[in-house]
Structure 1
Amino acid sequence: MKPVDPTVAYPRRCELAAELRGLRDLAGVSGRVLAQRIGVSQSKVSRIENGSTVPSLPEVEAWSRELGLPDDIQRRLTSMTKAAHTEAHPWRTELAGKGHLQNDVLHQECQAHKVRVFQTSVVPGLLQTPDYARHVFRLLRVPMSEADHAAAVAARMDRQIEMYEDNRTYEFLITEAALRWRPDTGKMLAVQLDRIAHLSTLGNVTVGVIPLRARATTVLTHGFALYTRDDLHEATVETVHARVEVRGREEVEAYDNRWALLTQMALFDSEAGDFLGELAAEYRAMD
C-alpha cells in the first residue's frame, strides 16, 4: 500500500501542525516541556506537530497560553483548528492523477481499531462482491478509464482482506432500501446478499439490518463511517461533490449519537441472517 502524503490528504491539519511547531520553536520551549505544561504526552505533541493527529481546541488553547502568544495569534490558531476538524476533499481534486481512492480509505481503516459504517443507499464497500463493486463504480459516473475501474474494484477487494485479521472490529448498519438497490440482475444481488451473510459470521464483524417496517427512532439521512483508535475519533461522509472528514469532538459525538439511535432500529444475529436469506430468495425468484 502506497503511503498517503498528509500534506495532500490533510492540508489544513498540516498547516496547523506547521504553525504550532514553528511557534513552539520561536518560544524556545522543548516538546517535552510543553507536553508537561499542557498535560499531554510528549509523543502526542510530536504527532500533533507532524500532522498525524489533530489537536482538540482546548489543547490548542493551552498550547497558546503556555507559550504566551498574543491574542491575534490565538484567534488565528482557533480558526485553523476548527477548519482542520472538518476538511472537505472535492472529488475532482481527490481523484486527479489517482484513478481511485481505495488505498486512501484502506490507510484510514488500518489506523483504526474499530470501523463503523452506516449506509442508506448501497451495500458498504467492505461487504461488496466484485460484480456489485464494478456496477457501483460505473453508476457513479466518475471520469475513470477502464484500467482505473478495474484497479478500483481490485483495490476494494484488497481492503476486505483486512477484515480477516482479528486486531480490528467492523460494525455495519445497512437499510433495507440499500439492500434492495438493484444495479443489475436479481441473481447478482442475491449473491451479494449471501456475501454479506457470510462476512457477518466473522468474529470481529457485526452486521445490522434496518428493515422498512422498523419503528423509527431517528431519521435516515446520509451514510457515514466512524473510525476509532486511542487518539483518533473521526467521521467520514461522502457527498455528491466531496468527501468530508470530521474530527471535532462535538461534531463526531453527533454521529456517535445517531449511530446509537440507528442500532435501536436494526436486526442483528439470526434475525438479520433470516432477513438477508429471505431477501436473497426473493431476488433469486425474479430471474
Structure 2
Amino acid sequence: MIRVADEAERTSARRKRLANELRRLRDLAGLSGRDLAQRIGISQSKVSRIESGRSVPSMPEVDAWARVTNASDDRKEWLTAMTNAVFTEVQPWRATLADSHVQNEVHERERNARLIRTFQPSVVPGLLQTADYARYVYSLAQPYPDHEVATAIAGRMERQVALYEQDRRFEFLITEAALRWRPVPLHSHLAQLDRITAISTLENVSIGVIPLAQQVLAPAPHAFIVYSENDGDLDDFVEVETVHANLIVNDLDDVAIYQNQWSMLCRTAIFDDELRTFLAALITEFRHTAHT
C-alpha cells in the first residue's frame, strides 16, 4: 500500500523537477524570462509561475519551450513524459489536512487566483464554513488527532479572510441537498445558514443554490473548484474533490469540461434576493421541525 505522505511527496516532486528543468533550459539558452515569453507567446508572469512550480504548462507550451531553447531529443521526451505525469495530480486528504507543505500549496492556489468558482453538491464549501461546522465535518471523515483538526480549522478560517478582498471574486454553487445535510447540532446548522446569508451580500461574492425541485441540466457527481489567475482561461485549472484525495487537473480540454459544467449548473440556480428568501424559509423550516 502506498503511504499518503509518499504519494503527496511524489506529486510535489514531479512539479518541482519539471519547473527546475524548464528553468535550466532557459538559462542554458541564455534567454531572459521576457525573451522566452515573447518567443513562445505567453506572458512573462506565466514564465515565472511555471518556473516556480505554481503553474503547470500546457503540452504546446512545453514543446515551444523545448524548441526555442534547443533542447535535445532526449530532453524533449523527458519533458513530454513529465508534463503528462503532472497534468493530473493527486493530493490525498490525509496529507491535505496534516502536511504543512500541502496546506501551503492549497493557500498558494487560492492566493494566486483572482476568480475562484466552487461547486459543492453534498456539503457547505470550506470557504463558507463556520469553525464548528468544519470541526464536525472533519470528525466524520476519519479519526484525525485533535491537534491536526485544530490546525486545519485555523487554516481554513484564515483562508476565509480572502472573501473580503474586493479585487478578487468568489462564486459558489451549492445544492439544496448540501444545505439540508446536517453534520452538526441544530443551533450550529442554523448559524451556518446565517453565515451563508451574510456572505451572499458581499459585492465580490456570488452564491447560488440549486433547489431540489428544479429540473437538472447537468449531472453533479462530485465537488470541484475552478481557479482562474487572470482574465483569460489559459492558466485555469481545476481541483476535483473525491473521497480519498483531491485531483488537480491542468489539461486545457479537461478544464473546459468543468467550465461547461459550471455554466450548465448556473442555469438551474437561484441567486441574490431569491437566494436569501430561500435560505430564510429553510431556517424557519429547521426551527419549526425542532419544535414539533
Same fold (TM over 0.5): yes
Paired residue for 2:222? 222
Contact 1:103 1:155 in 2 (8 A): no
Paired residue for 1:17? 19
SS in 1 for 2:89: strand
Taking structure 2 as the reference length, the TM-score comes to 0.86
Please give the root-mean-square deviation of Cα atoms over the aligned residues, in Å: 2.5
Contact 1:223 1:238 in 2 (8 A): yes
Paired residue for 1:57? 59
Instruction: State which drifts further: 80-89 or 257-266.
Output: 80-89
| Residue identity opposite 1:81 in structure 2 | T
Paired residue for 2:187? 187
Contact 1:193 1:280 in 2 (8 A): yes
Aligned counterparts, 1:199-238, within 5 A: 199-230=199-230, 232-238=235-241
Aligned counterparts, 1:5-154, within 5 A: 10-98=12-100, 103-141=104-142, 143-154=143-154
Contact 2:95 2:102 in 1 (8 A): no
CA distance in 1, matches of 2:102, 2:9: 16
| Residue identity opposite 1:116 in structure 2 | R
2:277 is aligned with 1:271: no
Q: Deviations over 1:207-262 (max 9, x none)?
A: 10001111111111100111111273111112122121111211111111100000
| Residue identity opposite 1:209 in structure 2 | V
| Residue identity opposite 2:137 in structure 1 | V
Q: Deviations over 1:83-118 (max 9, x none)?
A: 2222112234444554x9655433321111111110
| Residue identity opposite 1:181 in structure 2 | W
Deviation at 1:131, TM superposition (A): 1.7
Identity value in percent:
51
SS in 2 for 1:237: strand
CA distance in 2, matches of 1:257, 1:282: 34
Deviation at 1:82, TM superposition (A): 2.2
Q: How many residue pairs end up in the alignment? A: 280
Paired residue for 1:160? 160
Contact 1:190 1:281 in 2 (8 A): no
Q: Which runs of 5+ in 2 are unaligned?
A: 1-7
| Residue identity opposite 2:174 in structure 1 | I
Taking structure 1 as the reference length, the TM-score comes to 0.88
Paired residue for 2:3? none
Deviation at 1:37, TM superposition (A): 2.7
Contact 2:11 2:90 in 1 (8 A): no
Q: Which runs of 5+ in 1 are unaligned?
A: 1-5
Instruction: State which drifts further: 22-31 or 170-179.
Output: 22-31
SS in 2 for 1:226: strand
CA distance in 2, matches of 1:275, 1:55: 42
Instruction: State which drifts further: 29-38 or 172-181.
Output: 29-38
CA distance in 1, matches of 2:249, 2:35: 30
Runs of 4+ in structure 1 displaced over 6 angstroms? 6-9
CA distance in 2, matches of 1:155, 1:21: 32
Contact 2:98 2:152 in 1 (8 A): no
Contact 1:120 1:175 in 2 (8 A): yes
Deviation at 1:33, TM superposition (A): 4.0
